[in-house]
Amino acid sequence: MHRPMTTETFKLGYNDIHDDVVRSIVKTGPKYYIALATAGGVTLLCFFFPWSYQLYYGIGAAGMNHPGVWGTYLASFIFWIGLSHSGTLLSCVLHLTNSSWRKAMYRSAEAMTLFSLVVAATYVMVHVGRPWFIHWAVPYPNQMELWPNFRSPLLFDVMAIATYITGSTIFIYMGSIPDFAAVRDRTSGWRNTMYTLLSLGWRGTDKEWHRLHWAYTFLAVLIIPLAVSVHSIVSWDFAMSIVPSLHQTIFAPYFVVGAIYSGTAGIVTVMFVLRKTMGFEQYITKLHFDNLGKLLLVLSLIWTYINGVELFTAWYSGTSEEYEALGYKLFGYYAWLYWEMILFCAVAPMLMFSTRFRTSFVPMLILSIAINIGMYTERFLIVATSLSRQYLPDAWGTYVPSPVEISIMVGSFALFTTLFLIFVKIFPSVSMYEVKETMATPKMEPAAPAAGSPA
Amino acid sequence: MSLFSRFMDGWRKYRKPGYYDEFDYHWTMTIDLDKCTGCEACVTACQAENNIPVVGEDEMAKGREMQWIRIERYWEGEYPNAKLSFIPMMCQHCDAAPCETVCPVGATYHNQDGLNAQIYNRCIGTRACAVYCPYEVRYFNYYDHEWDSPLEQQLNPDVTVRGKGVMEKCTFCIQRIRQAKDVAKDDDRRRVQDGEMQPACVQTCPTKALVFGDRKDHESQVYKSMNDPRNYRVLDELNTDSSVFYLKKVDA
């Protein structure tokens, strides 16, 4: 039963929401299958195939060399961790501040968090030289009584990310239980079985709602410091070294802000796509783009400030190695990338001072993609420029990514898309019960043909 | 013992290099830059002793050469008044080594001889140690390396051949140290005498620019050498507390 789309916001009944969301799960058009096949195919071809090649021949398939032992793999890892940030974090903050505009978008934002983290964790395996021994970085009791090195920021990293993945998974799952139940009541066959299992016997009693709300708020409070700590710890991988231009105390806030920045931009992109492809025009509106635009603007200003601080600290240190690294960053081999980053992440976002810009969908989409290109560049530069100019001039060098690395980078986006495409067919990608909370109680109208019982 | 004092004990121990209260030996090297001619004999000796692969032209061009000891060349002034100086650079076996703290699996650690040891079969290849090392002396196996026949016949049986994805670096020829210690132990449990063993580079150096020994033995040649007024340590301002001392070149 297709309802004609109107441009008015939330002139919907409770049932319409169920219809729209359940339709997005159950009704699968050929376009979806084409998209899934393309994304899956690209993932296999560009991600898993080059990776297997690299596993077989060794990590020399990538472009890393002697001073530049870290490359795009690590940059991509930080990028994906960063992209994961806004989802759950933003959702938690907005939940606690009772921002009702969050409710239509948070499910897909949280899914973004989860899948970015999955891609990031995969990148760790792509990055290390012997991924088949990666479990050694996890503290587990063993007969050799060998433990990982608890002083290592890389170990903190493993723990922080594992905790964050666990926390975000529980958070998105718990928030979806009432919606699983709603879908369960409107589907049949294997879907019904699946949603029966997923909804954990949800009946919608007062007690259940009370406990869900309590646990949800509890987790939201828990996840906010977690999200901040994750990226601080990722930044310590760099800041705890004594490499000039990495050894800076500003790195933890720098990374956290950068992460939220790129994550918010990522949400804008994903929301635009969802709105167009899933027919969610009524749920994701100009209001959301306006608010996210304001948030992006503030974040871009903070990010620009921290970048200034970074340059100033290097200059103020007065040491020759910091000067060298600073000059190399601004005018060296990778300088064009630096200025591209400044253009995309510091200059272009100034457009969002205009309300008209913030409420236009396509310009916001373009800007959000530009910001994420800039932020990827930032991560690449942190790795590449710093390692190229360290203490001993004899060991200076440049690092250029190899085709295998570029292919895996492209493939990681396809992997993310594939996971997301599977997600939209399993999870109700708009939180039905919370959208309903924002609506006025529907008026009784002359009986329409019944389309299933409400949850 | 109270919980607090146990904690403080642990903390004090933690602050010491490699958690040791005292090293058995404290292996140290001095390099007299006045004597170094930059002949690279040490580089070749090291390559042969430690089964270091020859990576070939293409890999070399990519900047993936492997030399546990390398001769760094620095030019001063413009031609024709240019002056060239050499500095052999290898793992400095820092007592406060940045690489040791960062390895998530503890593949690099400080042993009881004050050496910065690398356990190849524990390494998972995060390459973080190479980033953290300010001397840039850690080398990564990007591939499984092969030796063209008959070169595989000359591999040193006392040294592991490293596989792909593993970090490696100068060990101060730990296989020779172990052997010398074994001999000394069998010989009435005495200590290793000064000059009883030398790493390959020291043994090969034609000008005797390199001196190796136990810093704890105050009669040793290396102890005298490291207290030479010309001594300095590279990047000493980073407080890595390295075990390689350089004797400054004095311009005539």
CB contact under 8 A, A136 and B124: yes
Query: Any idea what the CATH number is for the domain that residue B36 is in?
Result: 3.30.70.20
Residue B49 is assigned to a structural domain of this protein: yes
Selected residues 135-154 of chain A with any CB under 8 Å from a CB in chain B: 136-137, 146-149, 151-154
DSSP A118: H
Beta-bridge partners for B76? B83
Closest by CA position to A251, among listed A295, A307, A328: A307
Residue B252 is assigned to a structural domain of this protein: no
Q: In which element (H, E) is residue A225 found?
A: helix A206-239
> Which residue of chain A comes nearest to B106, CA vs CA?
A149
Residue B7 is assigned to a structural domain of this protein: no
Residue B2 is assigned to a structural domain of this protein: no
Strand, coil or helix: A246: coil
Residue B3 is assigned to a structural domain of this protein: no
Write down the pLDDT at residue A455. Answer: 45
Task: Tell me the count of A-B CB pairs closer than 8 A.
Answer: 140
Select the residue from A138, A142, A149, A237 to test the B interface by mutation, using most B Cβ atoms within 10 A: A149
* Residues of A with Cβ-Cβ distance to B72 under 8 angstroms: 392, 394-395
- Amino acid (one-letter) located at B93: H
Cα Rg of chain B, angstroms: 19
> Which residue of chain B comes nearest to A139, CA vs CA?
B105
Q: How far is B63 from chain A (nearest CA, A)?
A: 5
Task: Nearest by CB to B131, from A58, A387, A391: name it.
Answer: A387
Write down the pLDDT at residue A446. Answer: 56
Write down the pLDDT at residue A2. Answer: 42
Q: In chain A, what are the domains?
A: 29-135+148-437 (1.20.1630.10)
When divided into structural domains, chain B yields a total of 1
B118 Rama class: left (phi>0) / alpha (psi -120 to 50) / beta: beta
Write down the pLDDT at residue A441. Answer: 66
Measuring CA to CA, how many Å separate B79 from each of A226, B39, B73, B76, B85? 59, 22, 15, 9, 14
Closest by CA position to A226, among listed A342, A357, A109, A85: A85
pTM recorded for the entire structure: 0.88
pLDDT under 50: residue ranges of chain B: none
A70: number of Cβ within 10 Å? 24
> Which residue of chain B comes nearest to A396, CA vs CA?
B136
Q: How far is A259 from chain B (nearest CA, A)?
A: 22
Sign of CA dihedral B118, B122, B123, B128: negative
- The angle subtended at Cα B167 by Cα A136 and Cα B67, nearest 5°, is 175
CB contact under 8 A, B131 and A69: yes
User: What six digits make up the tokens of B65?
Assistant: 């050469």
Predicted confidence pLDDT, tens digits, chain A (455 residues): 344 443 344 556 777 777 777 777 777 788 889 999 999 999 999 999 999 999 999 999 998 998 899 999 999 999 999 888 777 777 777 777 777 666 777 787 888 888 999 999 999 999 999 999 999 998 988 888 888 988 899 999 999 999 999 988 998 898 888 888 888 888 888 888 888 888 898 888 888 889 988 998 888 888 888 888 888 999 999 999 999 989 989 999 999 999 889 888 988 888 888 788 766 777 777 888 888 899 899 999 999 999 999 999 999 998 999 999 999 999 999 999 999 999 999 999 999 998 898 888 899 999 999 999 999 999 999 999 999 999 999 889 899 999 999 999 999 999 999 998 888 888 877 777 777 776 666 665 555 555 544 44
Q: How many helices (H) and strands (E) would you count in chain B?
A: 8, 10
Residue B104 is assigned to a structural domain of this protein: yes
Residue B12 is assigned to a structural domain of this protein: no
| Calpha distance B91→B110 (Å, rounded) | 13
Task: Nearest by CB to A69, from B98, B101, B130: name it.
Answer: B130
Determine phi and psi for A340, rounding to 5 degrees: -65, -45
| Calpha distance A272→A295 (Å, rounded) | 17
The string of DSSP letters for A81-107 reads HHHHHHHHHHHHHHHHTT-GGGTTTHH
Contacts 24+ apart (CB under 8 A), A434-437: A434/A103, A434/A106, A435/A17, A435/A103, A435/A104, A435/A283, A436/A14, A436/A17, A437/A100, A437/A103
Residue B5 is assigned to a structural domain of this protein: no
Which residue reads 């690299």 in tokens?
Answer: A54
CB A75 within 8 A of CB A382: yes
* Residues of A with Cβ-Cβ distance to B124 under 8 angstroms: 128-131, 133-134, 136-137
| Calpha distance A398→B39 (Å, rounded) | 27
CB A396 within 8 A of CB A67: yes
Is A237 near chain B, with CB under 8 Å?
yes
Write down the pLDDT at residue A444. Answer: 59
Which residues span the domain enclosing B154? Answer: 17-247
Which residues are within 8 A (CB) of A117 and not within 5 positions of it... i.e. 6 or more apart? A80, A81, A84, A161, A164, A165, A168
CB contact under 8 A, B134 and A243: yes
CB B33 within 8 A of CB B246: yes
B143: number of Cβ within 10 Å? 18
What are the percentages of helix, strand and coil residues in chain A, rounded to 5?
A: 75, 0, 25
- The angle subtended at Cα B6 by Cα B2 and Cα B11, nearest 5°, is 150
Is A64 near chain B, with CB under 8 Å?
yes
ipTM of the complex: 0.88
